[in-house]
Structure 1
Amino acid sequence: MAKGVWIVAEQRDGALRKVSFELASAARKLADQLGEEVGAVLCGSGVEAMAAELAKYGVDKVYVADNAALEPYTTDAHATAVAKIVKENDPAILFLGASAQGKDLSASLVGKLATGMATDCTDVKIADGKLCAIRPMYAGKCFGEIVIDAFPQMASLRPNVFPIVECAKAGAVVKFDAGLGEAKTKVAEVLKEAAGKIDVAEANVIVSGGRGMKGPEGYAILEELAGLLGAAVGASRAAVDAGWRPQADQVGQTGKVVSPNLYIACGISGAIQHLAGMSSSKYIVAINKDAEAPIFARADYGIVDDLFKVVPALTQEVKKLLA
Structure 2
Amino acid sequence: MSTFLVFVATSDGKIKRSSLEVLSHARSQAEKRGMLLAAAVVDTDATRYSDEIQSYGAKTIYAISNPVFKTHLNASLIQALSTIIETAKPSIFACASTEATKDVLGALGASFNAAVLPDVASFELTDNGVSALRPVMAAKVLSQNTATGDLILISVRSGSYDSAKSPVTAEVKNIGFQPSDFAAVLREILTSAGEKVDLSEAQVVVAAGRGVKDEVGRKLIEDLSEVLGAAIGASRAVVETGLFPATAQIGQTGKVVSPQLYFAIGISGAVQHTAGMANSKVIVAINKDADAPIFQMATYGLVGDLFKILPLLTEELRKLK
TM range (shorter): over 0.9
> What does residue 11 of structure 2 align with?
12
* Counterpart Cα distance in 1 of 2:171 and 2:129: 26
Query: How far apart, in 2, do the equivalents of 1:13 and 1:301 lie?
Result: 34
Q: Does 1:252 align with 2:264?
A: no
Deviation at 1:239, TM superposition (A): 0.9
User: Does residue 286 of the first structure (1) align with residue 285 of the second (2)?
Assistant: yes
Q: Secondary structure at the match of 2:132?
A: strand
CA separation in 2, counterparts of 1:108 and 1:8?
15
Residue 94 of structure 1: aligned partner: 93
CA contact (8 A) 2:192 2:247 kept: no
Equivalent residue of 2:275, what SS?
Answer: helix
Query: Does 2:180 correspond to 1:181?
Result: yes
**TM superposition shift of 1:179:** 5.4
**Alpha-carbon contact 1:133-1:155 (below 8 Å) kept:** no
1:191-210 equivalent positions in 2, closer than 5 A:
191-193=190-192, 197-210=196-209
Indicate how the Cα distance of structure 1 residues 225 and 195 shifts in structure 2: closer, same or farther if over 3 A, else same. Answer: closer
SS of 2:185 mapped into structure 1: coil
Structure 1 35/217 Cα, relative in aligned 2: closer, same or farther at 3 Å? Answer: same
Distance 1:288 1:15, change over 3 A: closer
Kindly indicate whether the alpha-carbon contact (under 8 Å) linking 2:251 and 2:276 is maintained by their aligned counterparts in 1: yes
Offset, 1:63: 0.9
Give the 3 Å change call, closer, same or farther, for CA 193–168 of structure 1 in structure 2. farther
**Per the alignment, in what secondary structure is the counterpart of residue 163 of structure 1?**
coil
Return 5+ residue gaps in structure 2 as ranges. Answer: none
Aligned amino acid, residue 231 of structure 2: A
Distance 1:242 1:312 in 2: 23
Q: 1:49 maps to which residue?
A: 48
One-letter amino acid of the counterpart of residue 250, structure 1: Q
Report Cα offsets for 1:144-184 as digits up to 9, x if no partner. 23211133221112223321111112221112233533333
Q: Which residue of 2 is the match for residue 81 of structure 1?
A: 80
Counterparts of 1:300 and 1:70, CA distance in 2: 40
The 3 A distance-change label for structure 1 pair 175 and 267 is same
* SS, match of residue 81 in structure 2: helix
The alignment's TM-score, normalised by the length of structure 1, stands at 0.92
Contact 1:287 1:304 in 2 (8 A): yes
Alignment match, 2:58: 59
3-state DSSP class of the match of 2:202?
coil
**In the TM superposition, what whole-angstrom CA distance separates every residue of 1:85-142 from its partner, at most 9, and x where no partner exists?**
2134321211111122222322221211222222222222223353222232221212
The 2-side partners of 1:99 and 1:185 are apart by 21
* Displacement after TM superposition at 1:213 (Å): 0.8
Is 1:44–1:72's contact at 8 Å kept on the other side of the alignment?
no
Aligned residues: 321
Tell me the distance in 1 between the aligned counterparts of 2:82 and 2:92: 13
1:277 counterpart SS class: coil
Shift of 1:258: 0.9
Per-residue CA deviations over 1:46-96 (Å, capped at 9, x if unaligned) read: 222222221111111111122333432122221122123213432121111
* Structure-1 residue corresponding to 2:226: 227
State which drifts further: 265-274 or 102-111: 102-111
- Residue aligning to 1:240: 239
2:220 aligns to what SS in structure 1?
helix
Partner in structure 1 of residue 33 of structure 2: 34
Do the aligned residues in 1 keep the contact of 2:84 with 2:175 (CA within 8 Å)? yes
CA contact (8 A) 1:216 1:245 kept: no
* Matched-pair contact (CA < 8 Å) for 1:139–1:276: yes
Q: Once the 2 structures are TM-superposed, how far is the Cα of residue 196 of structure 1 from its aligned partner?
A: 6.9
Secondary structure of 1:62 counterpart: strand
Question: 1:67–1:147: structure 2 CA closer, same or farther, 3 Å change rule?
Answer: same
Shifted more, 144-153 versus 198-207: the winner is 144-153
Tell me how far apart the structure 2 counterparts of residues 171 and 125 of structure 1 sit (CA, whole Å): 24
Q: Is contact 1:160–1:202 with CA below 8 Å preserved after alignment? A: no
Amino acid at match of 1:34: R
Query: Offset at 1:194?
Result: 5.1
Assess if the C-alpha contact under 8 Å between 2:159 and 2:279 holds in 1. no
